[in-house]
C-alpha cells in the first residue's frame, strides 16, 4: 500500500502537500487494515485451531483500534490538507468534500460507524453490553468496509489511473468476502444438513447451570476434540438470531455432544427452557485448548468457575499415567461446583489428583500464590498447564506460574469473554 502511494507521488512540498500525503497514506492503510480485520474473524479453521480463538480475538481488537485511528487520521489530515490548498477553514472544507466529491459522504458514514463500534468495544463500555448487542453491532463493520471499498476506488489517486492496482483491490476484497461467506454462512448450513443437530435433553447441573445434550449423524466427522467449543444457534424464536460460544463439557461421541453453560446472560439463561427436538446450527469446532499442545508428561489443569467446562473433558481424556494428571478447581461456594460427582469418578478411575478450593479469598487465602501452587503440585516446573478462568484469575495464575519457573510456552489458556 505504501508502494502505491510512493509510485504515484512525484514530490511532496508545502504544508498542504505533507498533510494530503499523510492523509492518503493513512487512508490506504485503513482500507487494507479493515480487510485484514475481517479476515481474522472469518473463522478459518487453520487459524482457529493453530492460533486460537482468544488470540485471534485479541488481534482483531488491536487491529480494530488501528483501523479506527487510521480512518480518523485520514479524515482529519485530508480535510486539513485540502483546506490549506483551498485557503479555507476546515469546517467549510468538510462540507464541500462531503457534498462535492464522489463517495466522500459514504466514507464519512463509514468512519462514523467504525468510531461507534470502537466506542462500544472500549473496555469501560463493553462489559455493560449484552453479548448479543455487542455481537450485532459488529455487523456494521461489513457496511463500513463496503463503503470504504468504493471510496478508495472512486477518489484514490493511486487507483484511478492504475488498472493493476484496481484489480488487486478488487481481488483483496472479493477474496475476503468469499472466505467470510464460506466459513460463516455456508459451512454452518452445510453442517446442519449433514449432521442434523438436535437437542435431546437439558440437565440442570447446579444453580443456574445446565447441560444441553445434542445428537446428530456422524458427528465424528467434525473431528471435535476435548477442550474445543462451537458457536451454537438454537432454532427457537428467542435464540435463532445469535450464535453463542459454548465449550464441550464431555468427550465428543460419534452421535452426541454435550455443552454446559452458566446463566450469565440472556442467551445462556434461556438454554434451560430448550425443549427436546429443537434443531441446532453449529459453527466449529474452534479453539486450540487441546491435548495436541501438550509437551510434557505431567499435566496440570486449573479451572475457575465456568472454566471447568472445557477442562472437564480434558480431565477425562488427555493421555496421562496415574499420578501425572492434576486438576485444581476454584469455586466461590460448594453449590457452585459443577460436575463434582463426575470429576470424583474420573479422578478415581484415572488415578488423577483432584483439589477443590471453595470459599471467599478472605477465608481460604490466595490459593494460586506461587508458593501455594508449588507446594500443592510437586515438580510444577515440569508440567504443561491448561488454564480456563475469568480474566482476573487467569492473569494472576499466569504470573504465579511464571514466578515458579513454568515457561510461557507450556501455559495454555483461552478466554471466552467477549
Instruction: Measure the CA–CA gap between 108 and 94, rounded to whole angstroms.
Output: 10
Which strands form 298-304's sheet, in the order they lie side by side?
353-358, 325-331, 298-304, 383-388, 411-413
Instruction: Give me the residue spans of the domains in the chain.
Output: 2-185, 196-286, 294-413
Confidence at 268, pLDDT banded by 50, 70, 90: low
Instruction: Measure the CA–CA gap between 100 and 88, rounded to whole angstroms.
Output: 15
Of 388, 368, 353, 396, nearest to 226 by C-alpha is: 388
- Per-residue model confidence as pLDDT tens digits over 160-173: 888 999 999 999 99
What average pLDDT does the chain have? 89
Of 366, 43, 65, 80, nearest to 231 by C-alpha is: 43
As a whole number, mean pLDDT of residues 358-377 equals 88
- Per-residue model confidence as pLDDT tens digits over 205-262: 888 889 999 999 999 999 999 999 999 999 998 888 878 889 999 999 999 999 998 8
Of 107, 283, 285, nearest to 182 by C-alpha is: 283
As a whole number, mean pLDDT of residues 393-415 equals 92
- Does 196-286 match 294-413 in CATH topology? no
**Which of 53-57, 305-309, 345-349 has the weakest average pLDDT?**
53-57
* pTM, full prediction: 0.79
Let me know if domain 196-286 sits in CATH 3.50.50.60. no
Instruction: Measure the CA–CA gap between 117 and 113, rounded to whole angstroms.
Output: 6
Predicted confidence at residue 110, as pLDDT, reads 92
Q: Angle at the Cα of 102 (from 162 to 65), degrees rounded to 5? A: 80
Q: Which fold has domain 294-413?
A: Rossmann fold (3.40.50)
Predicted confidence at residue 150, as pLDDT, reads 86
Confidence at 287, pLDDT banded by 50, 70, 90: confident
**Which of 52-61, 318-327, 382-391 has the weakest average pLDDT?**
52-61
Amino acid at each position: 500500500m505504501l508502494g502505491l502511494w510512493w509510485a504515484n507521488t512525484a514530490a511532496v512540498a508545502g504544508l498542504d502537500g505533507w498533510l494530503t500525503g499523510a492523509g492518503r497514506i493513512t487512508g490506504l492503510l485503513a482500507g487494507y487494515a479493515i480487510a485484514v480485520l475481517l479476515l481474522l474473524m472469518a473463522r478459518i479453521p487453520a487459524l482457529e485451531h493453530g492460533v486460537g480463538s482468544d488470540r485471534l480475538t485479541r488481534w482483531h481488537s488491536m487491529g480494530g483500534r488501528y483501523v479506527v485511528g487510521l480512518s480518523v487520521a485520514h479524515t482529519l489530515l485530508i480535510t486539513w490538507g485540502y483546506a490549506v490548498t483551498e485557503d479555507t477553514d476546515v469546517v467549510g472544507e468538510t462540507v464541500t468534500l462531503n457534498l462535492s466529491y464522489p463517495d466522500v459522504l459514504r466514507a464519512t458514514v463509514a468512519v462514523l460507524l467504525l468510531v461507534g463500534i470502537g466506542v462500544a468495544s472500549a473496555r469501560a463500555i463493553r462489559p455493560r453490553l449484552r453479548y448479543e448487542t455487542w455481537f450485532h453491532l459488529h455487523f456494521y463493520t461489513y457496511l463500513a468496509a463496503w463503503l470504504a471499498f468504493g471510496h478508495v476506488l472512486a477518489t484514490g489517486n493511486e487507483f484511478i489511473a492504475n488498472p493493476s492496482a484496481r484489480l488487486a483491490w478488487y481481488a483483496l476484497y472479493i477474496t475476503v468476502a468469499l472466505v467470510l461467506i464460506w466459513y460463516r454462512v455456508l459451512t454452518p448450513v452445510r453442517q446442519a444438513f449433514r449432521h442434523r443437530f438436535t437437542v435431546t435433553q437439558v440437565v440442570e447441573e447446579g444453580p443456574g447451570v445446565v447441560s444441553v445434550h445434542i445428537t446428530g449423524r456422524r458427528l465424528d466427522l467434525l473431528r471435535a476434540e476435548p477442550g474445543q467449543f462451537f458457536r451454537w444457534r438454537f432454532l427457537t424464536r428467542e435464540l435463532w438470531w445469535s450464535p453463542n460460544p459454548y465449550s464441550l463439557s464431555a468427550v465428543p461421541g460419534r452421535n452426541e455432544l454435550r455443552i454446559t453453560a452458566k446463566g450469565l446472560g440472556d442467551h445462556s439463561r434461556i438454554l434451560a427452557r430448550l425443549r427436546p427436538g429443537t434443531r441446532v446450527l453449529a459453527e466449529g469446532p474452534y479453539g486450540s485448548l487441546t491435548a495436541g499442545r501438550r509437551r510434557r508428561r505431567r499435566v496440570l489443569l486449573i479451572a475457575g468457575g465456568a472454566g471447568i467446562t472445557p477442562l472437564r473433558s480434558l480431565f477425562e481424556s488427555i493421555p496421562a499415567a496415574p499420578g501425572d494428571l492434576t486438576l485444581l478447581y476454584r469455586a466461590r461456594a460448594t453449590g457452585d461446583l459443577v460436575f463434582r460427582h463426575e470429576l470424583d469418578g474420573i479422578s478415581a478411575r484415572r488415578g488423577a489428583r483432584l483439589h477443590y478450593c471453595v470459599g471467599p479469598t478472605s477465608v481460604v487465602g490466595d490459593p494460586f500464590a506461587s508458593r501455594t501452587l508449588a507446594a500443592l503440585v510437586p515438580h510444577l516446573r515440569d508440567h504443561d498447564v491448561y488454564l480456563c478462568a475469568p480474566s482476573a484469575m487467569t492473569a494472576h495464575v499466569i504470573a504465579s506460574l511464571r514466578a515458579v519457573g513454568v515457561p510461557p510456552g507450556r501455559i495454555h489458556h483461552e478466554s471466552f469473554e467477549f
